[in-house]
Structure 1
Amino acid sequence: MTQSLSDIRADIARQLAEGAASRRSACHTPVVGTADADMRVMVLRAFDPDSWTLRFHTDARSPKAQLIGEGAPAGVLFYDREAKVQMRCRGEGRIATQGETVDAAWAASTNFARRCYLGAEPGAISDTPTSGLPDWAEGVQPTEEQVAPAREHFALLLVTLREVDWLYLSNEGHRRAVLQVPAGEARWVTP
C-alpha cells in the first residue's frame, strides 16, 4: 500500500464520515477513552470535517460526562479489520447539554432511542439485572409526551481531534503516520 500523507488524511476523513453515516461501517462503533483510563464502545453519530469534531450521544449524568465536563482529554480508537487500518485519535472532549446542535440531535433521535435517557442514573446499583428503564418503558416505543422528561438527561460528547495516529497492518511491513488535524504537520513514523 503506497499512499501519500495527504491521501491518508483524506481517507481518514472519508472513513470518519462513513462511520457516522453507516451502521455497516467499521468506524461506526469506536472505543472512546477518557482521562481516567476508562473505555467504552460508543456509536459515532456525526463527523464535522472542517473542525475534525466527532459527535456521540451520552447521558449527562454518566461518570464520563462528569469527568469531561467543559473540556478534558479524550481518545477514540477505530479499527477497520477489512482495510487493516487502526486509527488512534486524540483530542479534547466536551459535554454539551444545551444549544442548537443538542436540540437537533434530540429531534433526530427516535422515541425508542430517547427512552434510554428515562432510566436510572448510569452506574446505579441494583439487586437484579436491569436496563434501568421504568417498567412501562421496557420494549415499547414511547410517545413524545412520555419521553419528554428524558431530554434533561440527554447530552452530546463532542471530541475535537488534534492528532490521528494511523497504522496500516501488512505482512509485507506495517506503515504508520501521525497527522495533526484539522490542518498541520503529518509525518511517517516507524510502527
Structure 2
Amino acid sequence: MDLTLDSVFADATERLAEAARNRRHAMHAPVVGTADGDLRIMVLREATADLARLRFHTDLRSAKISLIGESAPVSVLAYDPDARVQLRMRGEGRIEHSGPIADAAWDKAAASSRRCYLAETGPGGALDAAGSAIPEDLLHRAPTIDETLSGRANFAVLLVEVRSLDWLQLTHEGGIRARFRRNDAASPWQGSWIAP
C-alpha cells in the first residue's frame, strides 16, 4: 500500500466493509464500549464506505439500550493480528427498535441469528443455573423463521456514526499511525499523521 492519508482511510473502510460481510474476518467482532466504561464484543453487520454508519444488532432488554438511547458516545475497537492493524473509532451511537432500519435488519437476519432474541431472560438477567436463556426446545437446533417471529419484540439495532478514526499499523520500526476526525457525517474527514 502506498502510504497516504487517503490510502490509509481507504484501508480502514475496506477492512470494516469486508469484516461486515465475512464472519471469518479478524475485525468481524470488534469491542464496543459505552460511556459507563462497559465493553462487549459485538458482531459488525454493516460499515458504510464513508463510515457514516456502523451497524450492530442487540437485544432491546440489554442495559446499554437505555444508556445509549437516541444519542450517546460509543467507541469501537477492531484489530487484525495478521496485518497488525488496529482501528479505534469514536462516535455517536443510537438505538433503533422500530422503523425501516430495524425492520430491514431483522428481515435480513438468518433464523440462527434471530434465535438469541427468543431468550426468556434478557442479557444480564438472573438465571437459576448456568446456561442459556434460550427455550429448551431450541437449544440444539436452529429455529424456523416462523419460530423466530416473537423475538422481533426483543430485537434492536445499534447505529454508530463514526466521528474519529485512529488507524495504527504496528511494525518493528515503531509503527505508523494516522488520525481522522469530523464533526458529523455530513462533514468531510480531516486526516493527519501522528506518532504511534
TM-score past 0.5 threshold: yes
Counterpart Cα distance in 2 of 1:117 and 1:36: 24
Q: Which residue is 1:147 aligned to?
A: 148
Q: Which residue is 1:21 aligned to?
A: 21
Deviating 4+ runs (over 6 angstroms): none
Q: Which residue is 1:80 aligned to?
A: 80
Render the CA deviation track for 1:153-187: whole Å, top value 9, x for unaligned. 10001111000011111111211111125622111
| TM-score, normalising length: structure 1 | 0.94
Q: How far apart are residue 112 of structure 1 and its match?
A: 2.0
Which piece of structure 1 moves more, 65-74 or 137-146?
A: 137-146
Q: How far apart are residue 50 of structure 1 and its match?
A: 3.9
Counterpart Cα distance in 1 of 2:16 and 2:151: 29
Superposition RMSD on alpha carbons, in Å? 1.5
Counterpart Cα distance in 2 of 1:91 and 1:65: 16
CA contact (8 A) 2:13 2:51 kept: no
Counterpart Cα distance in 2 of 1:51 and 1:42: 17
Which piece of structure 1 moves more, 47-56 or 84-93?
A: 47-56
Render the CA deviation track for 1:107-159: whole Å, top value 9, x for unaligned. 11122221211111111111211211122221222233322111011000111
Question: CA, structure 1 residues 106+7, in 2 after alignment: closer, same or farther (shift >3 Å)?
Answer: same
Q: How far apart are residue 70 of structure 1 and its match?
A: 0.7
* 1:35-184 matched pairs, under 5 angstroms: 35-119=35-119, 120-181=121-182, 183-184=188-189
Gapped runs of 5+ residues in structure 1?
Answer: none
CA contact (8 A) 2:87 2:166 kept: yes
Counterpart Cα distance in 2 of 1:146 and 1:34: 32
Amino acid at match of 2:132: S
Which piece of structure 1 moves more, 99-108 or 139-148?
A: 139-148
Q: Secondary structure at the match of 1:45?
A: strand
Render the CA deviation track for 1:17-75: whole Å, top value 9, x for unaligned. 01101112111110000101100111101111245210011001101112111110000
Amino acid at match of 1:45: R
Q: Does 1:185 align with 2:190?
A: yes
| TM-score, normalising length: structure 2 | 0.92
